[in-house]
Structure 1
Amino acid sequence: MLATIYFKDLTSEGQGIFTLSLCWGEFWAKSMSHLKMDLVHDFGDDYSLVDIDSLSDEKYSELEALHAGN
């Protein structure tokens, strides 16, 4: 199972890393290294990380709609 984890790095604001995915829902990590340790624990090497800020508005709306539907 390939997990796609969407993330937003908010460590500069002191909030850590926000992730959004179908498998985890909404999740906060303390740092990128903490997030990657959790990913390896849950998925091994079978995951991908996508920066939310790199998504187009349309793709982000699709992600929100998909997440809201679950």
Structure 2
Amino acid sequence: MNSLNELEEKGQKRRKANFVWRFRRNKLAVIGFAIVIICFFIAIFANFLAPTSYDVGNLTEARQNPSWAHIFGT
């Protein structure tokens, strides 16, 4: 019985290693995984990246031409 469990463990390790190897060889899967991870971290740290609340806005300053205060306009 013990050898049967050892064979199952080796098979599971081999499948995991095979999955990782196949995943790393697929460039599109790695790029997709990276995009998902980046979106995940953006969602987690959104308050630090854009500290302004979504409901705060000054409509009188909307659609202004470029100036030194707003180089690309608003």
TM-score over 0.5 (shorter chain):
no
Structure number with the higher strand fraction is 1
Higher relative contact order (CA 8 A, sep 6+): 1
More helix by share: 2
- The bucket for the TM-score relative to the shorter chain is under 0.3
Greater Rg over alpha carbons, structure: 2
